[in-house]
Amino acid sequence: MPRIFAAVLCAALLAGCASTSARPQRAAAIPAPTPRPAWVDGADSGYPRSRFLTGVSSADDLNAAKDRARGEISKVFSAQVTVNSAVAAAEYTSETQGKTLTSSSQNASQNVRAVSQKNLEGVEIAAAWRDPTNGQYFALAVLERSKALASLEERVRETDARTRDLAAQLAGAAEKLQKAKYALKLLGLLKNRADLAADMRVLDPAGASAPGQDVNAARRDAVRALAAVDMALIMTADNSAQVTAAVIKALNGIGIEARVAAAAGGADIAAECEVKLSAVADADPESRWHWHRGTGSVALKEVKTDKTFLNFSAAAKEASASAGEARFKTETALGKKLSAEILRAVSAYLENQ
């Protein structure tokens, strides 16, 4: 009897398995591709221009697409970039507080300087989409005008409060170099305020107001304080017109009117600059290039205390098809290096007064 029951049970199980295997399997559902959004092609994205700035971009990677979309909004603020390319052989040494650094290079260089960098607070990624045909990712970035404008207005109010404090410190300072310290900081703040006002005009062209009278007055006082600093440029050895012009131009850029002098007497700050220029033979006797080398050493001091606050030297070597052009390029390159370091050192010294 047990054998008969077991046989019947096995037969039932086999029949059930056969029935199951014969039943057709349901196919997995394949999601339909997402339609191409209108905003990908610049059509209505649901974010009207009157209320939002928008940016659309694409990339092979989603995060890259998002970053590029944010960058499209940044372009609306007209951030300018200056690219300078140059081929040069150069050597540079700097000595400060007993420490000497030396470096040299001979290559093609490209310097990219961002004139203005925008801190785009409030930019959000509103949507993203992947093109099923090629796998490209698209992203939509948005910036609500009213929120961004409110943030900028708050920053302007903070800047104006700091401007009033610095203007009061400038008015109360007794020494010329102390006044110059506050003047430099004040002009930096006013430049920042002008950048904020420019961004506000992008967000609301009809609503941005002109600088107040106190802002204009603060700028005039700062310019006057820096112009009062007597800076003597004492050139020794080869009197390079290009180096002299570069140093004077750099200092004029921050409002200090440097003058060429034979001695430091009567000046507030003196820059003693020694320049030496010489032709250099090309290592290749078959070469038609003419090389020139220039070296410059500078001592910066406060005349009243006879305190030297920076000693440094720099060198440049340039080539050209003509000897005169090689010398001119060398003087120009050397002037850029010396003027940049003098400007940095003078600004830092004044800020520490």
Res 269 pLDDT > 60: yes
User: Are 290 and 303 a contacting pair, CB within 8 Å?
Assistant: no
Percent of the chain with pLDDT over 70: 77
Residue 54 gets the label, from left (phi > 0), alpha (psi -120 to 50) or beta, of: beta
Cα–Cα distance measured from residue 58 to residue 248, given in angstroms and rounded to the nearest whole number: 47
DSSP tag of 26: P
Cα–Cα distance measured from residue 118 to residue 343, given in angstroms and rounded to the nearest whole number: 25
- Look over the chain and give the mean of its residue pLDDT values, rounded to a whole number: 81
Helix (H) or strand (E) holding 131: none
Specify which residues 65 forms β-bridges with.
Answer: none
**pTM > 0.85: yes or no:** no
Minimum mean pLDDT range among 37-46, 154-163, 259-268: 37-46
- DSSP assignment of 307-340 equals EEEEEEEEEEEEEESSHHHHHHHHHHHHHHHHHH
Question: Roughly how many angstroms between the first and final C-alpha of the chain, as a whole number?
Answer: 113
Q: Where in the chain is the domain with CATH 3.10.28?
A: 38-86+116-144
The pLDDT of residue 99: 54
**3-state SS class at 193:** helix
The pLDDT of residue 206: 83
Other Cβ atoms within 10 Å of 8 Cβ, number: 10
Q: Among 330, 275, 297, which Cα is nearest to 95's?
A: 297
Residue 24 neighbours by CB under 8 Å, 6+ apart: none
Residue 193 CB burial class (10 angstroms; 0-12, 13-18, ≥19): buried
Regarding the domain with residue range 231-351, which homologous superfamily does it belong to in the CATH classification? Lipoprotein like domain (3.30.160.150)
Which class in CATH covers the domain with range 38-86+116-144?
A: alpha beta
The packing angle between helices 145-172 and 176-203, to 10°, is 170
Q: Where in the chain is the domain with CATH 3.30.160.150?
A: 231-351
User: Are 273 and 338 a contacting pair, CB within 8 Å?
Assistant: yes
Cα–Cα distance measured from residue 107 to residue 52, given in angstroms and rounded to the nearest whole number: 46
User: Which tokens in the block code for residue 343?
Assistant: 């400007």
The pLDDT of residue 93: 43
Residue 291 neighbours by CB under 8 Å, 6+ apart: 279, 280, 281, 282, 317, 318, 319, 326
Residue-wise pLDDT for 14-73, tens only, equals 445 444 444 555 544 545 567 899 999 888 778 998 999 999 999 999 999 999 999 999
